Amino acid sequence: MQSFFLMMLLCCSVTVAAATELRLISSEKMPYNYTTEQQFVGLTVDVVKDLLAPKQPDIEVMPWPRAFEIARTTPNVLLFTMGKTKQRLAQGFQYIGPVSTRQLAFYTLQDEFTTLTSLAEIRQKKLVIVGLRGGWFSEQLKQQGIEILEVGDYHQGVLMLLRDRAHLWVSTDLEAQMHLNQTGEHAKLKIALRLQCAENYLALSPGSDAKLYQQLQQDYQRWSQSKKPAAIAKKWQQQLGVTLKFNQKRGFSDSELQTSDCPLQTEPGAFTLSAK
């Protein structure tokens, strides 16, 4: 009998420990997760806080390459915000979401580049594109033979464009205006070429506890059917400069984004141009 109670106590201790194992890691990726006035805030941060309320571990904030490497090699890490690719799925990442869907595009300040129609034209003109170091989309572009000037975060990207260090900047409809506003510049961004849509997720690291993943999925499902997403959309749409909406298939997105402009990706990380 004594051994039975000892075993029960041990099992309970393991369960409690497992419940507190989740480690949260993120990086600067406005408007999803970023630092302002010494606080870490953002669209995805609000979702994470809702999911893990009333208690949650501290969020560790670090550069994306380091954040990704820790998550890739450490179980029970929730990494956000992250895109889904075939390579990352093969590495063992498991996804919760999507939290948001945005349309990627090449942005420019120069009228001469607003008539671009293909990646082949970009290669031919030898245009320099600034993109995120270690980002899945930057890797996709390099595989297509596109020259990428890689920077540590999106804010640096728009600054490189403003300083004429690059011809084009990779950003999205949910991010571009907010990054430009942060610079204090009054330049007008123009879309040079619309690309694919991509979803943002919460990613649970390879080797994580299966029960932890199931619990996060269940919590996300309940959250997505509640009134909380609508409240978050209302909070963020003014800052993003778009009318934000939420649905379970896409997460948060610009309400003007049409299904024909942004078909759901059948292949994670597939590289396509928009119909427009």
Contact criterion met (CB below 8 Å) for 154 and 177: no
d(CA 55, CA 213): 18
Q: Which amino acid would we find at residue 142?
A: K
- Domain spans, the chain: 22-101+198-244, 103-197
pLDDT at 200: 94
pLDDT of 259? 62
Assigned fold of 22-101+198-244 = D-Maltodextrin-Binding Protein; domain 2 (3.40.190)
pTM for the whole structure:
0.77
- For residue 196, give both structure tokens: 């694919």
Transcribe 178-219 into DSSP letters: HHHHHHT-----EEEEEEEEEEEEEEEPTT--HHHHHHHHHH
- Torsion sign (Cα): 119, 123, 126, 129: positive
Q: Distance (Å, rounded) from C-alpha 197 to C-alpha 173?
A: 10
Terminal CA-to-CA distance of the chain, rounded, Å?
72
Q: How far is CA 127 from CA 88, 151, 160, in A?
A: 29, 16, 14
Spell out the per-residue pLDDT of the chain, length 276, in tens. 444 444 444 444 333 334 548 999 999 888 999 998 889 999 999 999 999 998 878 999 999 889 999 999 999 999 999 989 889 999 999 999 999 999 989 999 999 999 999 989 999 999 999 998 877 788 888 888 888 999 987 788 999 999 999 999 998 889 888 889 889 888 899 999 988 888 999 999 999 999 999 999 999 999 999 999 999 999 998 888 889 999 999 999 998 876 656 654 444 554 555 433
- For the domain made up of 103-197, the CATH class stated in words is alpha beta
